[in-house]
A and B are shown apart, each in its own frame.
Chain A
């Protein structure tokens, strides 16, 4: 039996955690087709802040605006599926690529033709519509000249390194990671999301932007270890191109810690998204999530059911993700 499945069989808590997460994903994915008596944003004006015991048709009661708590829980699960999961996937993808590239090529191994830098600068200048047409024309001229020189040098057997410069990829990635890490994540998110409510893709991009540095840092560290392995030297000695070594041989090994990191990152983003929703920042009042449900208890502090059920869902989800991370970590180190 594979070690991961063996772990699953021997740990009931892990099975429960996986079961809960699976249930969430299924409920979230099928939310529009579930036979719920009420929509999450529809207020029932005759049953405002009704408890589960006294309300008719509202199995988990209603909040202070008359919205069904059960429908809100389902909407929260859907938000997890449509927003948080894709955000984590995007963050891990970005972080993996950036961290792996930085760790593999470092500051010197990746060389770019000077002409490419010139063209990129010119394109940026033009794209941002910056003033100075003469400067832009000069930049284009220099880029064209460099392109010609690079092409001629490439025809010479020893000239392929001429007119190129090393791209400090590692320094750049580390710089961005340090910049993003210098401000607490929640504060940065609140600052960026303040203003008009964001659409789901915008919020998704924002969450991914804040979450990718952790994955990048992890993969970069692992890549340093991978680079020192004998099989990497063997691959280079065999004459394989660096890009192929990076993609086919180094990257799969550098990504192994992500198995345990993924659930933890998801837990972090679930907490972050809930905090944002609790504060009512970045999303409209007609978007229901567990965080916004928790916030609505402020209007009626006696409505315990408004806090307990979303709080329980949030707690169980975070606990399940922690368990899953632990399970994955055990499997990786087995």
Chain B
């Protein structure tokens, strides 16, 4: 037995002292994910990991060029030609790349785009968020003279709709609808299909085929025209993507930045715990560590060894730490109660504690540097006195036991807070809120949950207050996916909606006039601040640590924080 322990100790020492493995050009690039994607169903991508994976399997008309920090044509030959149709419609003329093809060699055609848009609006499929996001596309007009040309007729104007019109993965019609049954139904008809009415036979059959394909776990049943295929998926452990040996974009000269796919293999290791991820990075089991917490980033930067082995990048991101209130709960229906609770968060202190002061405080869902930012609103602050005053205004009475009661209520004001476990920023925020609430007589129970369980709990409305990140974007201001009444139960977790906010949410993405758009966005920020369904605390910086030997690292403030497919190991001749 003692030899066994001695042997184990020696092997540990040897492994600890051994040099990092030498990576060849064909070696896989290993990336840390904080969570499992859960589903790879292209219509129901529920978290950033799933979005990253979908971008490897499928290609959209337009993609983000992380180097230029702008949208660039991907499946489309060029950015769309924009034409105005009357006062309120815009026509976007697209042409697909002639080289674009599916894995079986068949070309990607306009009919595939038409089919995808219909799928995104098909009743009976899990596409509520997509309906809200792409509902402004009213019609797809195919060019009879060129099967790769088509025109999207969109409601509204402006750059937002141009970008949003091409930001969905194009799916093959031949796999899901080989008989082309959906071609006989117009997009507008599908969009307007009443929820109470049974779907058309063609739609029902398609929905059945879609569900039988089990795309959530078997993305190979719907092969996309992306550069990678899923080779292995061990749930909550690892996903392995292999580069297709023949990918249509390899023929393009010069290769567009958005269509570069250098790594032969991408391995995503699911490590929910940040300390474990940092250890894996130090042990060279992970080559790319995005979204690094402030303290771990600081520690790594302070280490001479880590400085020699890793490259560090930090820049502002569009991720907002938010607290949301379940407006369906009777205690939280009154906006004054929600306003009162918002005064129990300390954004300045939390930014200092969790982001080393690098978080950017904000009044709303837009970054402070944006021209649409409503700078007339005050920044949210910790103000327990104001919270107490607002609670009184909302009809709450403080009894001798120190708790707050509504007249006739059977229980006092008590809240539960849900957030993702294994994340110090969320835990600190929750503890700070709990402490501040306890001081004014509100009992708060903390209920952290694992990420996939948390998503389910929030979508089913099993919470009073949540703390989570909201992913923003500098390109478009489509907040309908998580604030519009049509997405209650899916993206709209707070359950909040008013006719005014619904109107604003639909008008903003389609507004072409910058001045009017600014007014609409400022109004939306003011309304949300007043109604307080959610409280944006601050924007987080994004921090990225990568193996220093990796080439073509393009950091970005946009998710996932770097250009994933641009990464590569140096050629063998240069490696040491």
B447 close to chain A: CB less than 8 A: yes
A299→B295 contact, CB < 8 A: yes
A41 close to chain B: CB less than 8 A: yes
Interface 1/0s, chain B 426-451, versus A by CB < 8 A? 01101110110000000001111000
A48 close to chain B: CB less than 8 A: yes
Interface 1/0s, chain A 27-48, versus B by CB < 8 A? 0000000000001011101101
A46→B353 contact, CB < 8 A: yes
Complex-state Cα separation, A197 to B428, whole angstroms: 18
B350 close to chain A: CB less than 8 A: yes
CB-CB under 8 A for A301 and B446, given A41-B431, A285-B430 = no
The size bracket of the interface on A is: 20 to 34
A280 close to chain B: CB less than 8 A: yes
A230 close to chain B: CB less than 8 A: no
B299→A300 contact, CB < 8 A: yes
CB-CB under 8 A for A65 and B350, given A43-B432, A286-B446, A300-B295 = no
Inter-chain CB contacts under 8 Å: number? 68
Complex-state Cα separation, A298 to B275, whole angstroms: 5
B431→A286 contact, CB < 8 A: yes
Interface residues of B in 235-282 (CB under 8 A from A): 273-276, 278
Complex-state Cα separation, A45 to B382, whole angstroms: 13
A217 close to chain B: CB less than 8 A: no
Main secondary structure of the interface of A (DSSP, over half): loop
Complex-state Cα separation, A23 to B324, whole angstroms: 44
Cβ contacts under 8 Å, A46 to chain B: 349, 352-353
Complex-state Cα separation, A66 to B353, whole angstroms: 8
Interface residues of A in 37-78 (CB under 8 A from B): 39, 41-43, 45-46, 48-49, 64-67
B residues with a Cβ closer than 8 A to A are 273-276, 278, 293, 295-296, 299, 346, 349-350, 352-354, 421, 424, 427-428, 430-432, 434-435, 445-448
B273→A298 contact, CB < 8 A: yes
Mind listing 23 A-B residue pairs with CB under 8 Å?
A39-B435, A43-B431, A43-B432, A45-B428, A45-B432, A46-B352, A46-B353, A48-B353, A48-B354, A49-B295, A64-B295, A64-B424, A65-B427, A65-B428, A65-B431, A66-B431, A197-B447, A280-B421, A285-B446, A286-B434, A298-B273, A299-B424, A301-B278
Closest CB-CB distance, A169 to chain B, in whole Å?
40
What are the nearest 8 A-B pairs in CB distance? A45-B349, A298-B275, A45-B353, A48-B353, A299-B424, A42-B435, A43-B431, A65-B428
Of the listed residues A48, A197, A280, A284, the one surrounded by the most CB atoms of chain B closer than 10 A to its CB is: A48
A132 close to chain B: CB less than 8 A: no
9 additional A-B residue pairs with CB within 8 Å, beyond A45-B349, A284-B446: A43-B432, A48-B295, A64-B424, A285-B421, A285-B427, A285-B431, A285-B446, A299-B275, A300-B295
Closest CB-CB distance, A315 to chain B, in whole Å?
21
